[in-house]
Amino acid sequence: METSVYSASTVLNCFLLYLIKNYSNFGIKTYQILLSIDASLDLILGVIVFLSQPIALTCEGYFVMANNGFISGISPSMDGFLLTMFTFFLHSNILWIPVQFVYRYRLLCKEDTGSRKSNLLIAAISIGWSLWALIVLIAMCEVREEYQTVGRHILDLNGWPKRKDGKPAFVVGSYITEWRMLTYLSLWVCTCTASIIIVVWCEKKISKHFKDMGSPMHSTTRRMHTEFHRALLAMAICPLITTTVPVYYFCTTFAFQLCPGWISALLTSATTSITLFNPLTTIICFRCYRQTALNVISCYRFRTLIGPKREHLTNTDGLVSVTLPALSLNPVRLAQIAPNPSNLPQESEQNINEYVTREPTSENVQELRDTANTILREYRQTD
């Protein structure tokens, strides 16, 4: 299941990058850059997980499968490399959410994109924090026989290890007192908490700025900023929830020395699904991307209906050149392409049905064109 999710996220992020490059209409290049970086982080994270076994890259996999040959199945060194890259980009992805709000706060409220020095400082803080989390992860990973045993249980066809009551057992429940785990989870809590605080603070300032601006801002500019603001807020809520809820639940069970159980296992599995949620939220929230995606889906559905051999549909010199099965299956699409002629011969329903089964040839092409335009006119009159 998770392999399918990350495969879809990789394709979706590539499609989103294409949309950002070719269909952005924000008028402010900074917005386009912010979305491009966000999609790039999701793409890299999705590719890393796609190349490895996703089940090993949830929180429980950090502690029981690192450097033991259970992630990619290639070698312990390759497993460690994939795991560290995953951790780095996962933290970078979470940190980039508040960074976007900081840039938007400076752009809108301060009317300044910031100096190069300050921009580099923000980027350095984000990268430095991710590197610190990476160092802690490397320091806590050690080869232990019991970790290998638990790792084999994870990859067993029977699924999660079972407790006495028959419910899935959390694989690292017996190692909750180790300081390495506690340190790494503390970093996760700090990252998520700081992200939430920054997002809420910037959101409050930006909302106040929009309220104070009132009428002086041009309506088109205001609408563009408002649309981006709502979209960015939705893009922040979705990944923060899927990340913070599992982490806080996980750490709460650690603090009270409780067995997290299967609920935590499911929640932590949802943590890494942000690579799919982020591009979906972006495409849905922005009208320019959403409309393009809908057009692509409609076009694909239209081609599927009429088949690969009978999908010729053009507009030439005011006349329609098309195979009639396409007309009968999708008149809406044809109505968008064909003209609306004024004087065309009327055809009976019997003749139209007869033409539907005929292929266009040099003898009957004009008759087919006339019939096609007749169907168009009747469709528009009933619309």
Q: What are all long-range contacts of 107-114, with beta carbons under 8 Å and residues at least 24 apart?
A: 107/28, 107/30, 108/206, 108/209, 108/210, 108/225, 109/205, 109/206, 109/209, 113/30
Query: Which residue in 40, 26, 22 sits closest to 108, CA to CA?
Result: 26
Same domain, 248 and 168: yes
Of 238, 268, 295, which closes a domain?
295
Same domain, 81 and 122: yes
- Mean residue pLDDT across the chain: 63
The band of 166, judged by pLDDT with boundaries at 50, 70 and 90, is low
pLDDT single digits (tens) 334-353? 444 444 444 334 444 444 44
Q: How far apart are CA 341 and CA 326, in angstroms?
A: 19
User: Is residue 90 a part of any domain in this protein?
Assistant: yes
User: Is residue 305 a part of any domain in this protein?
Assistant: no
CATH code of the domain containing 104: 1.20.1070.10
Give the number of domains in the chain.
2
Same domain, 291 and 315: no
- Position 378 scores a pLDDT of 65
For range 175-182, the mean pLDDT: 54
The band of 311, judged by pLDDT with boundaries at 50, 70 and 90, is very low
pLDDT single digits (tens) 295-310? 877 776 655 554 444 4
- Position 20 scores a pLDDT of 85
Q: How far apart are CA 38 and CA 214, in angstroms?
A: 30
User: Is residue 132 a part of any domain in this protein?
Assistant: yes
Q: How far apart are CA 79 and CA 86, in angstroms?
A: 10
| Beta pairing class for 319-322 and 313-316 | antiparallel
Of 238, 267, 295, which closes a domain?
295
- Position 141 scores a pLDDT of 53
Same domain, 266 and 336: no
User: Is residue 300 a part of any domain in this protein?
Assistant: no
User: Is residue 52 a part of any domain in this protein?
Assistant: yes
Same domain, 31 and 84: yes
Same domain, 162 and 231: yes
For range 44-53, the mean pLDDT: 67
Sign of CA dihedral 279, 134, 149, 76: positive
Structural domain span for residue 290? 2-295
Same domain, 63 and 173: yes
Same domain, 173 and 27: yes
User: Is residue 126 a part of any domain in this protein?
Assistant: yes
Same domain, 325 and 288: no
pLDDT single digits (tens) 61-90? 444 444 444 444 455 556 566 666 766 766
